[in-house]
Structure 1
Amino acid sequence: MLELYQFEMSHFAEKVRLILDYKGLPYRKIEVTPGIGQIELFQLSGQRKVPVLKDGSEIIPDSTAIAEYLDRKYPEKPIIPTDPKQKGQVLLIEQWADESLAINARKGLIGSLSQNQSFRTAVLPASTPDLLKNLVGAIPGEFLGVLGSGVGMGPDAVKEATDALKRSFTALSLILMEQPYLVGDSPTLADFAVAGLSMYAKFPIGGYLDIPASLKGKGVAGIADVSIFDPFFNWRDKLYTDFRKVSVSSYTSPGGSAPTSINIE
Structure 2
Amino acid sequence: MTAALPPIDRRPLRRRRWRAAGVQFACVLVSAFMVVPIVLIALAAFSSRDSIDAYPKTLIPRQFSTETLSSFFHATGTFPALGNSILAGLYTVFWSLVIGAPAGYALARYAFRGKDAYRLFVLLVRALPIVVLSVPLATVFLRLRLDDTVLAVTLVHTVLALPTTVLITAGIFVAVPTDLEEAAQVFGCSRRRAAWQVVVPLALPGLAASAIFTFVLSWNEILGATVVTLGHRTLPAQVLTALGEASTPYRFAGGFALIVPALVFILVIRRYLLNMWGTTLR
TM-score normalised by the shorter chain: which range applies?
under 0.3
Which structure ranks higher in relative contact order (CA pairs < 8 Å, sequence separation ≥ 6)? Answer: 1
Q: Identify the structure with the greater helix proportion.
A: 2
TM-score (norm 1): 0.27
Higher radius of gyration, 1 or 2? 2
